[in-house]
């Protein structure tokens, strides 16, 4: 046996900064994960057990309360409405955001910086600041109490973040790729479809993930613009578990678990693309 094989490779010792980093990240993870675990565990308790021993484990894991929450809250109808609204909104955000980002990144024209100003304001201003004007426009076009009353505002709210993330990602792509494609006779639409889309998958996955979470959990606009029970989304459906004088906490926690777990699954599936899209798009 050679001498090199006898020598065991030693791992470099952890530095104090690395130890502090892992400790802080672990604490931050527990800060966000433990409330979710507590919510799921509380859905299997009775209302008295939740108040008497809030941090104890449930004595049984009966999924009947989950089916009761699904039926009582009519979550099936609300889930379909949420899926339709979210899918159409995210599709609009991706399509219009990519087109705008491509124009701002690859074209040089007058007033381009001024045209970016509305997107900057979209990141800074809260939705409450233009809620009155928005509702008047929707009422003027007879869109209130329709799915478009949510889809169009969701697209508008998501475009600001979409344009800036995708533009930052496009700015990092080498110009030689576009020049070579232009020499080969490719037009803007062909470059966008065949060149940009394959390279923009991490950025598009990032925008899609953030947009899905935002549209799925949005409450204020869904409560104000939709009065028809057949068109309401899941966040409004959760109001069925809260009465005037009491709240059915076990079924409420069960309903929250039902709508939260799929969103966590989506983020877990696409978290690598999200991190890649944010880090690569931030370098310019």
Q: How far apart are CA 260 and CA 137, in angstroms?
A: 32
Chain centroid, CA 40 distance in Å: 21
Overall average pLDDT of the 264-272 stretch: 74
Q: Which residues contact 283 (CB under 8 A, 6 or more apart)?
A: 172
Locate the DSSP E strands across 131-280: none
pLDDT in tens, 78-104: 889 999 999 999 999 999 999 988 888
Q: Give Dmax (Cα) for the chain.
A: 85
Q: How confident is the model at residue 10 (pLDDT cuts 50, 70, 90)?
A: low
Overall average pLDDT of the 130-134 stretch: 86
Q: Which residues contact 282 (CB under 8 A, 6 or more apart)?
A: 168
Answer whether residue 195 shows pLDDT above 70.
yes
pLDDT in tens, 204-241: 888 888 898 889 888 889 988 998 888 888 888 777 77
Q: How far apart are CA 58 and CA 60, in angstroms?
A: 6
Of residues 223, 32, 64, the one with CA closest to residue 135: 223
Three-class secondary structure of residue 242 per DSSP: strand
pLDDT in tens, 15-29: 766 778 788 888 888
Chain centroid, CA 100 distance in Å: 20
* Mean pLDDT of the chain, nearest integer: 81
pLDDT of 225 reads 92
pLDDT in tens, 134-171: 889 999 999 999 999 999 999 999 999 899 888 888 88
Q: Which residues contact 23 (CB under 8 A, 6 or more apart)?
A: none
DSSP-derived letter for residue 247 is: B
Look up residue 33 and give its two tokens. 């994960």
Of residues 207, 227, 250, the one with CA closest to residue 73: 250
Answer whether residue 6 shows pLDDT above 50.
no
- For the four alpha carbons of 36, 41, 47 and 49, in that order, the dihedral sign comes to negative
Look up residue 24 and give its two tokens. 């802080």
Domains of the chain, each with CATH number or no CATH? 14-61 (no CATH), 64-281 (1.10.3720.10)
pLDDT of 96 reads 93
Of residues 78, 85, 99, the one with CA closest to residue 211: 85
pLDDT of 9 reads 55
């Amino acid at each position: 046996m050679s001498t090199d094989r006898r020598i065991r490779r030693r791992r470099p010792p952890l530095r104090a900064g690395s130890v502090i980093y892992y400790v802080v990240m672990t604490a931050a993870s527990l800060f966000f994960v433990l409330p979710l675990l507590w919510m799921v565990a509380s859905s299997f308790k009775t209302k008295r057990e939740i108040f008497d021993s809030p941090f104890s484990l449930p004595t049984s894991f009966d999924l009947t309360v989950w089916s009761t929450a699904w039926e009582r809250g009519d979550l099936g109808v609300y889930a379909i409405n949420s899926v339709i609204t979210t899918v159409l909104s995210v599709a609009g955000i991706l399509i219009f955001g990519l087109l705008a980002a491509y124009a701002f990144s690859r074209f040089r024209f007058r007033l381009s910086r001024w045209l970016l100003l509305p997107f900057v304001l979209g990141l800074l201003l809260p939705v409450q600041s233009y809620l009155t004007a928005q509702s008047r426009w929707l009422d003027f076009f007879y869109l209130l109490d329709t799915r478009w009353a949510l889809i169009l505002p969701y697209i508008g709210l998501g475009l600001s973040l979409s344009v800036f993330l995708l533009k930052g990602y496009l700015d990092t792509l080498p110009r030689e790729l576009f020049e070579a494609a232009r020499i080969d006779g490719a037009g803007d639409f062909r470059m966008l479809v065949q060149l940009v889309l394959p390279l923009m998958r991490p950025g598009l996955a990032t925008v899609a993930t953030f947009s899905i979470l935002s549209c799925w959990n949005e409450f204020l606009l869904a409560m104000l613009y939709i009065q028809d029970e057949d068109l309401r989304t899941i966040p409004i459906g959760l109001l069925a578990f809260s009465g005037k004088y009491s709240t059915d906490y076990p079924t409420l926690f069960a309903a929250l678990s039902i709508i939260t777990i799929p969103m966590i699954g989506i983020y877990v599936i696409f978290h690598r693309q999200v991190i890649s899209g944010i880090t690569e798009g931030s370098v310019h």
